[in-house]
């Protein structure tokens, strides 16, 4: 068995085992009566949550097997070599050949993953009455996403093809490029990209605005860019998020969240989002991510610069092969570093909760968390190894217990 086959097996084995462990936990975990009373969930609610999450995990297993099979075919099956050789027959520049090879590989991935996304939306999400999207809207969204992603990949690829000629410095130049693009995207995404998919309107509810004004004074936080997003045209899942920097920062509420929570509960959710800002979580995460990118790019460059590594991956010696190898290796390595970032994210959520509980009545924060838990059919007790890799937020019980222990 080749080195690539071993790496792919370990990667797939780890992902599938985690899914299976989570399925086993969901099937067998016992939720105590006190917790069910606390969250006001019935036996039927619990059963529905288990079925929903198991359905998603079963799909995840199939998707992972298919994806890893595609990667195997791409490398050891010689698919990338075939794509590269086929395009090489045309009388065009080497840059065009390499770029076309990269874009073809991505388009195949995107199109082959569509059935899984379609099944998720129109079978699983529809069965549990979350999906509100139409098939036309689904394919329209995917087409727009595909075009935009191809444009970004084209830009990054052309930059990479140019800077990779600087053999000893390309990792540094690529890291700086990615850092710059991340910063730029944080400014342009809220204003120019997100409105392509959703409509945004200013928050105008007077009761909510009064609560927000009070919170703004208490936290000394200017709250002007508050928007409601028409999430309900695609899904019933409620949420809120903080995005942007400086004058471009905004807090966005899904319209499904506005319909679900009271004015005081929305105030509590907003206090939580402000907590992220006050603790500089966005800036800290950005700095840490870019440190990891710089270190990761340097270490990966030691592999990518080696023709032997490309030979192991069964790739032709070309700039496009180096980029494909870079993406594959980074994806595998980043999966095994996910526990670190997930742990940090959960810590940030606790800090934001604590901040919020000092600004609003904690019971409103608890009731908002409870409603969000119930409306999303989240499962109460995850497998600890699965949570280590995939949970960016603590469970609702962990958050409630943390809030109550902080105020005792």
Q: What is the pLDDT of residue 296?
A: 86
Residue 349's pLDDT is what?
95
pLDDT of residue 328 exceeding 80, the answer is yes
Mean pLDDT in the chain?
89
CA distance 325 to 313: 8
List pLDDT tens digits, range 346-378.
999 999 999 999 999 999 999 999 999 999 999
Dist. CA 99–CA 92, nearest whole Å: 11
Three-state SS at 228: strand
pLDDT on residue 223: 76
- The whole-number average pLDDT for the span 144-151 is 94
Query: Quick one: what percent of the chain has pLDDT higher than 90?
Result: 52
Flag the least confident range among 60-74, 217-231, 371-385. 217-231
Q: What percent of the chain has pLDDT over 70?
A: 98
SS3 state at 250:
strand
CA distances from 63 to 101, 208, 336 (A): 24, 42, 19
**How large is the average pLDDT for residues 321-346?**
90
pLDDT band with cut points at 50, 70 and 90 for residue 304: confident
Residue 342 has pLDDT above 80, yes or no: yes
**What span, in angstroms and rounded, lies between the C-alpha atoms of 54 and 24?**
9
Does residue 23 surpass a pLDDT of 90?
yes
The three-state (H, E, C) secondary structure of 374-397, written as one string:
HHCCCCCCCCHHHHHHHCCCCCHH
Question: How many residues are recorded in the chain?
Answer: 408
Q: Give the number of other CB atoms < 10 A from CB of residue 152.
A: 11
Q: Are 292 and 285 in contact (CB under 8 A)?
A: no
Top pLDDT among 331 and 242 is at: 331
The C-alpha atoms of residue 51 and residue 16 are separated, in whole angstroms, by 18
- For the four alpha carbons of 10, 14, 15 and 19, in that order, the dihedral sign comes to positive
215-237 burial, b for 16+ CB within 10 Å, e for fewer? beeebebebebbbbbebeebbbb
pLDDT confidence of residue 292: 87
Over the stretch 226-274, which tens digit does the pLDDT of each residue have?
899 999 999 999 988 877 766 677 888 999 999 999 999 999 999 998 9
Its sign, for the CA torsion 126, 131, 133, 138, is negative
d(CA 275, CA 353): 7
DSSP, collapsed to helix, strand or coil, labels residue 133 as coil
| Least confident range of 20-34, 61-75, 96-110, 296-310 | 296-310
* Range of lowest pLDDT (197-206, 274-283, 298-307): 298-307
Q: Is 218 a residue whose pLDDT tops 70? A: yes
**Averaged pLDDT for residues 194-198:** 90
Question: pLDDT value at position 246?
Answer: 66
Tokens of 154: 């084209």
Measured CA to CA in angstroms, residue 99 lies from 84, 257, 301 at distances of 10, 42, 20
Distance CA(84)–CA(99), nearest Å, equals 10
At 192, the pLDDT band (50, 70, 90 cuts) reads confident
Whether residue 362 contacts residue 370, with contact meaning beta carbons closer than 8 Å, is answered with: no
Q: Which residues pair with 242 in a beta bridge?
A: 251
Partners of 253 in beta bridges: 228, 240
Low-confidence winner among 10-24, 109-123, 223-237 (lowest mean pLDDT): 223-237
Q: Which string of DSSP letters, residue by residue, matches 207-227? A: HHHHHHHHHHHHHT-----EE
| Rounded Cα–Cα distance for residues 237 and 373 (Å) | 10
Handedness of CA 67, 391, 193, 229 (dihedral sign): positive
- By CB atoms closer than 10 A (0-12, 13-18, 19+), residue 211 is buried
Q: How confident is the model at residue 408 (pLDDT cuts 50, 70, 90)?
A: low
In this model, does residue 92 exceed pLDDT 80?
A: no
Q: How far, in Å, CA of 33 to CA of 47, rounded?
A: 14
Nearest-angstrom CA–CA distance, 291 and 306: 24
Contact status, residue 315 vs residue 324, Cβ threshold 8 Å:
yes
pLDDT for res 91: 74
pLDDT at 384: 94
Q: What is the pLDDT of residue 122?
A: 97
Counting Cβ atoms within 10 Å, is residue 379 exposed (0-12), middle (13-18) or buried (19+)? buried
């Amino acid at each position: 068995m080749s080195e690539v086959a071993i790496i792919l097996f370990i990667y797939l084995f780890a992902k599938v085992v985690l899914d299976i462990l989570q399925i086993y936990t969901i099937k067998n975990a016992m939720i105590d009566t006190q917790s069910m009373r606390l969250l006001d969930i019935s036996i039927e609610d619990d059963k529905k949550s288990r079925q929903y999450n198991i359905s998603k995990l079963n799909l995840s297993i199939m998707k992972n097997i298919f994806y890893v099979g595609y990667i195997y075919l791409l490398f050891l099956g010689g698919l990338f070599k075939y794509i590269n050789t086929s395009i090489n027959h045309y009388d065009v520049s080497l840059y065009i050949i390499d770029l076309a090879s990269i874009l073809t590989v991505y388009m195949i991935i995107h199109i082959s993953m569509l059935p899984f996304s379609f099944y998720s939306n129109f079978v699983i999400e529809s069965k549990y009455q979350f999906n509100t999207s139409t098939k036309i809207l689904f394919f329209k969204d995917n087409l727009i996403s595909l075009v935009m992603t191809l444009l970004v990949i084209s830009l990054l690829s052309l930059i990479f093809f140019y800077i990779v000629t600087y053999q000893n410095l390309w990792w540094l130049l690529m890291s700086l490029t990615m850092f710059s693009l991340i910063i730029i995207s944080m400014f342009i995404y809220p204003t120019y990209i997100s409105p392509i998919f959703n409509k945004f309107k200013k928050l105008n509810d007077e009761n909510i605005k009064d609560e927000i004004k009070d919170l703004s004074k208490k936290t000394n936080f200017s709250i002007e860019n508050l928007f409601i997003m028409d999430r309900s045209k695609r899904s019933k899942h409620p949420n809120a998020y903080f995005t942007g920097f400086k004058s471009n920062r905004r807090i966005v509420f899904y319209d499904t969240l506005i319909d679900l929570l009271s004015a005081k509960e929305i105030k509590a959710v907003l206090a939580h989002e402000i907590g992220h800002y006050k603790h500089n979580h966005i800036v800290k995460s950005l700095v840490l991510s870019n440190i990891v990118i710089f270190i990761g790019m340097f270490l990966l460059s030691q592999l990518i610069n080696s023709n032997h590594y490309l030979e192991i991956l069964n790739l032709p010696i070309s700039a496009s092969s180096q980029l494909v190898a870079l993406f594959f290796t980074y994806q595998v390595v980043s999966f095994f570093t996910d526990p670190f970032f997930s742990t940090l994210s959960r810590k940030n959520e606790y800090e934001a909760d604590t901040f919020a509980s000092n600004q609003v009545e904690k019971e409103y924060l608890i009731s908002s968390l409870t409603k969000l838990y119930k409306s999303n059919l989240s499962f109460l007790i995850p497998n600890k190894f699965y949570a280590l890799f995939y949970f960016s937020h603590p469970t609702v019980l962990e958050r409630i217990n943390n809030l109550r222990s902080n105020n005792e």
